[in-house]
Amino acid sequence: MAETVVTGAGRGARAVVRVLTVIMMMAAAASAPAGVWHDDFSLASLPDWEIFNLDRDVESWKPKDGVVAGEIFETDFFSLLLLKPDDSKPQDWADYTVRVRARLTGHLGDDDESRIGIALYDHEFDGERYLCLLQLQTAEALIIRGTDALWQAIPFPFPVEENVWYELEASVLSAGATETISFRIDGGPPMTITSTGPFGSGIAGLVVSDAEAEFDDFEIHGPNVPTGGRGAPRAVSASERLATTWGRMKRR
């Protein structure tokens, strides 16, 4: 039986110990040798990507103007674009970190299902995956542990807006019978959960639910990840980041 524990939202000594453990795990992972796979979506096609469960009537993924655009055409649907290079085995990648720039460019309906973000440890047909998402209507960031039997969603307050670029970073780190999933937005403090009954490894990708979105500068690194892909990450100037942060502060 799997359990999910929030490791960054409690108070007291137990929460502190968990946070320190996460920091130590992240530092150890950062010091390990790792490959880096990057895509700036500069091609007119997506040769290293695959749409999971493609239904052209309800979903679309296509590169345009140096980004990849994902779109849902009907409510109550979500779509995955999974990284699957021909020359490697992404289903075996483990203990990795994904970074990507993302923005919500439109949404369907007024319910709470307009979400964009990152898929981690995706097992496709087994129905297992972690999701780190921004949710528009409820102004939240979500970490989800999904299986065919149960989806467990842990919310964290975050002021999500349309047409704003966000720098998303999501990691999975294994330790025995547990996995720690960490989600950071614009370099802020990590939001974390600890999950027992670990998935062990899996494919990374992008997610759109009841929304239109654009993604750029996808990067994944970890000990099992080969160095490859194309392009280089887009540099964000200090003045641009400051202007974005200040704009959000004024709107709160």
Give the tens place of pLDDT for each residue, 14-26: 332 233 334 334 4
Number of domains observed in the structure of the chain = 1
Residue range 145-173: mean pLDDT, rounded: 96
Give the tens place of pLDDT for each residue, 113-125.
899 999 999 999 9
Report the distance separating Cα 87 and Cα 185, nearest Å: 31
Cα 36 to the chain's mean position, in Å? 16
DSSP 54: -
Task: Note whether 104 and 136 are within 8 A (CB).
Answer: yes
Report the distance separating Cα 236 and Cα 68, nearest Å: 19
Q: Note whether residue 135 is domain-resident.
A: yes
Q: Which amino acid, residue 108? A: L
Give the strand pairing for 211-222 and 166-175. unpaired
Give the strand pairing for 35-39 and 228-230. parallel
Task: Note whether 22 and 195 are within 8 A (CB).
Answer: no
How would residue 27 be classed by pLDDT, with cut points 50, 70 and 90? very low
Report the distance separating Cα 212 and Cα 77, nearest Å: 12
Q: Note whether residue 252 is domain-resident.
A: no
Give the tens place of pLDDT for each residue, 198-223.
999 999 999 999 999 999 999 999 99
Q: Note whether residue 39 is domain-resident.
A: yes
79: exposed, middle or buried (C-beta count within 10 Å: 0-12, 13-18, 19+)? buried
Q: Find where tokens 């320190």 sit.
A: 20
Task: Note whether 203 and 93 are within 8 A (CB).
Answer: yes
Give the tens place of pLDDT for each residue, 39-92.
999 999 999 999 998 898 999 999 999 999 999 999 989 999 999 998 889 999
Q: Note whether residue 249 is domain-resident.
A: no
User: Which residues constitute the domain of residue 72?
Assistant: 4-232
Report the distance separating Cα 145 and Cα 196, nearest Å: 10
Q: Note whether residue 244 is domain-resident.
A: no
Q: Using alpha carbons, select from 208, 172, 175 the residue that is nearest to residue 193.
A: 172
Q: Note whether residue 245 is domain-resident.
A: no
Token representation of residue 55: 């239904």
Q: Note whether residue 54 is domain-resident.
A: yes
CATH number where 105 lies: 2.60.120.560
- Please report, for residues 66, 99, 164, the alpha-carbon distance to residue 241 in angstroms, rounded to integers and kept in the order given: 20, 16, 12
Q: Note whether residue 237 is domain-resident.
A: no
